[in-house]
Amino acid sequence: MNDLTPTVRERFQRWLDKTTPGDGVREELERLRGMLETERRDEAASAIHEAFYRELEFGTGGLRGILGAGTDRMNIYTIGKVTQGLADYVLKHYPDDPSVAISCDTRIMSTEFACTSARILASNGIRVYIYPGPAPTPMLSFAVRYHKAKAGIMVTASHNPSSYNGYKVYNDEGCQLTNEAADEVLEHIRRIDPFDDIPWSEVGCTAEGMPVQVKAVDNESASTQTTMTGKENVSVQTNAADNESASTQTTMTGKENASVQTTASDSGSASAKTTAFIETIGAETVDAYHEALLAAGVPMDASDIEIVYTPLNGSALTPVLRVLEDIGVGQVHVVESQREPDGNFPTCPYPNPEKKEALAEGLALCEKLRTPDVLMATDPDGDRIGIAISASGAGWKDADLFTGNEVGILLLDFLCANKPCADDAIVVKTIVTSDMVREIVEHCGLQMREVLTGFKYIGEIIGELEKQGLEDRYFFGFEESYGYLAGSYVRDKDAVNAAMLIAQMVAHHKAQGQTLRDRLTELYDAYGYYVDEVVEFAFEGSAGMTAMADVLARLRSEPPKEFGGSPVVASVDYAHDDTGLPASEVLRYTMANGSGLIVRPSGTEPKLKIYLSAKEGSREASLALTQSMKQGVSAFIE
């Protein structure tokens, strides 16, 4: 191990000494140690360095990283450390009634991480409310609020590739943590030793799905419930609060294999003592979520529309199908190859509904059917949605994909025209979302708030209004990264909500003899041809992180004088300038021709994201301007 730095060598050896055989982590470490003695030693040393050179960063978005062994990887020990830190935070602030709600998506190890988190929290005397199978992010936010939990955990890496997983933390309002709260949780986490400070003997520690014994809540009797865990042999055992006999039923998750078994528990063992604090989230909560969801919609006859839908092997299948049925959609076809939960995402290695590649299976089904009005795709944790329609004159072979900004603009226009709102209703957008929103808001006589990138900031605006008893003023919010929310019932973007609204919007315009593209063209004619585009630069590994930091430092020390042939006339550094918003690693440039450019590191992936915006008299002119800007950015970054 001489090729490793002293810190990396020490961490690697300690993990070898402290991890448990059979946990999946020890086996990977031993494999790497063996490789060090072979001709693959350089490969092993590099892998060990990347896994141990730092600790996985916890921030307002929680954790996100590659699955594997190491301090910079997602595994039961990094999850355990963060969960114990969160437990200490909850016990400090809510000693009288500590509780946490938990959900997960369908990714590899999501169920295991959710179960590990539940047991660690319960071993600390914290009551846990946990969905019996994967459920979308917005349903976690709703569960926090519905059960008055003091925090929430969503195990997901959103739209990242299958090699990733993540862990998002929510506050007692169902919103992702504020900057201040995240900093305090981080201080608790830093005090935790993942091996010595967690009661693993009570928690359990294996690489396979760990059964979690829980009590049924929502005043339901104990029952065997069908779940979607993404693993055929994973079960969640529930204890009947009233000791009634076990029965069998199918839950909202729609999976037919993996089961949730209910048993009465009278054991006095440490395990039983721990699991007495864990309760399943049942149908009452799910029904309440759907009622709130429907109340946020626009009553519309949708019987004449046909939809192709894909959950991309994720967690949103059942709630999306339920709401589309509830609003009376005529026909819904599910992409069969992407229907079932599968964290490997076999037909879609990068399950991001922003990307055409992720929609390929759905587009193929649309081409086969020929008659669908719209294709919808939700990401694995059900908070983002992408759509496409057939192209005019070309059908589905050359489908018309809409950007996140375009869908948000269409939804805002639709809601303004069809949904009653308060005279002082508020629309919220992020700083990287199209400025076309501002013009529509002004035209409709509404108010607009602009926040930093990240839907949690939109959630915070809703929370501020709620504290004043004014939550009905919140009308609509969205961000360019395909996240939308109408209604104040949750505090995060909701793709189930968006699927409902998009279906109602398609039905409305179809009744007018229009496609969505027809309506968007009318809006461009009225407000100007806005074109907004995102350029991404990947920075993988420790070397990539250093290179990305160097780019940002160079932008500050040598500020660009022009982009796309137009001089820079104004710039804002959100980390150091007084913007009225929290400090953030964001740089903004405005050019003399009115175009704009924003630079920020992604909060979820090792990428630098460049947001380009232009407004000209025609779409062609706007596209030409953004293309010119793109070339200038590439030359500067690369």
- Residue 22: how many CA atoms within 13 Å on its side-chain side? 6
**Are the beta carbons of 455 and 461 closer than 8 angstroms?**
no
Which one-letter amino acid corresponds to residue 275? T
Q: At what angle do helices 541-557 and 41-52 cross, to 10 degrees?
A: 60
Q: Quick one: residue 227, left, alpha or beta (phi over 0 = left, psi -120 to 50 = alpha)?
A: beta
**What 8-state DSSP symbol labels residue 314?**
S
CA separation for the pair 120, 9 (Å, rounded) = 29
For residue 476, what is the enclosing H or E element? strand 474-479
Six-digit token string for 465 = 């209004």
Q: Which residues contact 471 (CB under 8 A, 6 or more apart)?
A: 462, 465, 488
Q: State the Cα angle at 288 between 282 and 294, rounded to 5°.
A: 135
The 10 Å CB-count burial string (b at 16+, else e) for 262-296 is: beebeeeeebeebbbbbbbbbeebbebbbebbeeb
CA nearest 427: which of 414, 576, 124?
Answer: 414
**Are the beta carbons of 501 and 414 closer than 8 angstroms?**
yes
CA separation for the pair 533, 293 (Å, rounded) = 31
Tell me if residue 271 is catalytic: no
Catalytic residue among 110, 158, 162, 584: 158
Q: Which residues contact 524 (CB under 8 A, 6 or more apart)?
A: 530, 619
Tokens 């001489």 — which residue? 2
Tokens 């953004």 — which residue? 626
For residue 156, what is the enclosing H or E element? none
Paired strand residues for 279: 129, 215
CA separation for the pair 114, 58 (Å, rounded) = 17
Q: Which residues belong to the active site?
A: 158
